[in-house]
Amino acid sequence: MMRPRVLSAAAIAAVTVVGLAVLPNGAATAGDTGLRAAARGTGVKIGTAVNMDALATDAPYAAAGAREFNTVTPENVMKWEVVEPTQGHYDWTQADKLVDVARRNGQAVRGHTLVWHSQLPSWINETDFTPAQLRDLLRRHIFAEMGHFKGRIWAWDVVNEAFNEDGTLRDTIWLRNLGPGYIADAFRWAHQADPSAILFLNDYNVEWIGPKSTAEYNLIKDLRRQGVPVQGFGMQGHLGIQYGLPGDVLENVRRFDALGVKTAFTEVDIRMILPDDQIKTQAQAEGFGLLLRACLLVRHCISYTVWGFTDKYSWVPGVFSGEGSATPMTEDYQKKPAYDTLKETFQLAS
Ligand code: G3I
């Protein structure tokens, strides 16, 4: 049975009183007007990736982050290259700052990411380690990082981007040296390191049904049969309106939900070929809403995270030349139709 989510129009009309958001669950907080207020009571956390330089230097950025979101993900500062820049020497400074700010803001933290082929410290790639040494290094890394934050991280992206578009395993340092079993090992180690954290397999271009998402579906099904604690599937949601929107996203999320794993949209941004215009911006809003509706319409989708909430710090222009405007707010924090669609969609769910 699906979570009952939709309020009647009359109930919606009765829910909001000028100056006070009287929320469906009866909670009313004066001036509580952001996305996190709209999401309250839906069972889905609304989150953002956090740029630590912006958090430290840009007061409107920090204020909006606190007001709008009840979960945060470090965009970069929990990645291996940052936390262990030289072998055996850890630097938790920035990651600790994020966790502390989140605690003060009443925000759950999504840890990102433990096992990935990118943003590895240079000493990993530059040293000729044996397979046995690499396996030991990976295990130590998982225990060290999860141990440092034990009990303070709500969910972890344990393994990130392990598959190719055709559904085969990505040729990474981990696959080459540890074999396909590295994924199961990582999840077992992660659960030992912090049994309280929800453990996710995370990837992009898996929002729709295709070879990649089906390969990950089959892997999760197989691993869970073996008792491997894969507890969540993260769909990053990096989309571009020029490629169209994934019409079968609800069917896709439902099949992971039926496996008994939690799901989440973990890095949503929807880019466009610049310049932006009203049609592109409306299509973008529809994309943000499509993914959120899919999350709200299944029982165990637990969070929806945008990969940055303002164009001011988006990764997109630096990677996709001529593209951008990918987030729900402009560079000067003006709310786009995408923001309004997210808020209205949350408000419809009870
Ligand atoms: O920290 C260095 C800085 O010291 C140096 O001066 C500067 C210029 O070289 O680079 C800085 O590192 C950059 C890092 O972000 C931190 O800002 C890297 O060059 C840059 O490549 C890196 O980009 C990040 C990217 O992952 C790397 O793949 C993006 O910010 C981040 O948004 C992006 O996020 C990924 C997710 O983790 C996984 N899913 C895909 C998503 C988008 O690629």
Q: Are 217 and 209 in contact (CB under 8 A)?
A: no
Dist. CA 246 → ligand 1 center (Å): 26
**Residue 18 reports pLDDT greater than 70:** no
pLDDT digits (tens, 9 = 90+) for 207-254: 999 999 999 999 999 999 999 999 999 999 999 999 999 999 999 999
pLDDT at 23: 33
Q: Are 156 and 110 in contact (CB under 8 A)?
A: yes
Q: Are 285 and 248 in contact (CB under 8 A)?
A: no
**Token output for 260:** 């008994």
Using CA atoms, how far residue 173 sits from 117, 137, 138, 182, in Å, is 7, 12, 11, 10
Q: Where are the domains of the chain?
A: 9-349
Dist. CA 188 → ligand 1 center (Å): 28
**Token output for 251:** 């069917």
pLDDT confidence tier of residue 33, bands split at 50, 70 and 90: confident
344 is catalytic: no
Q: What are phi and psi of 37, to 5 degrees?
A: -70, -40
**Residue 55 reports pLDDT greater than 80:** yes
pLDDT digits (tens, 9 = 90+) for 104-113: 999 999 999 9
In angstroms, the CA 95 to CA 251 distance is 36
Q: What is the pTM of this model?
A: 0.92
In angstroms, the CA 46 to CA 91 distance is 28
**Residue 6 reports pLDDT greater than 60:** no
Q: Which neighbouring-strand residues pair with 264?
A: 234, 303
**Residue 22 reports pLDDT greater than 70:** no
**Residue 31 reports pLDDT greater than 60:** no
pLDDT digits (tens, 9 = 90+) for 180-189: 999 999 999 9
Asked, as a colleague might, if the bond just before 113 is cis with ω within 30 of 0, I would say: yes
pLDDT digits (tens, 9 = 90+) for 56-107: 999 999 999 999 999 999 999 999 999 999 999 999 999 999 999 999 999 9
pLDDT at 350: 62
CB 53 less than 6 A from any atom of ligand 1: no
**Pairwise pLDDT comparison (205 vs 350), residue with the higher score:** 205
- What number of CA atoms fall less than 13 Å from residue 75's CA on the CB side? 17
Give the position, in ligand 1's atom list, of the atom nearest the Cα of 79: 37
CB 267 less than 6 A from any atom of ligand 1: yes
**Residue 122 reports pLDDT greater than 60:** yes
Closest residue by CA, ligand 1 atom 36 = 75
161 is catalytic: yes
How many residues belong to the chain?
350
DSSP character at residue 259: H
- How much of the chain, in percent, has pLDDT values that exceed 70? 91
Instruction: Identify the CATH homologous superfamily for domain 9-349.
Output: Glycosidases (3.20.20.80)
pLDDT at 32: 57
**Residue 123 reports pLDDT greater than 70:** yes
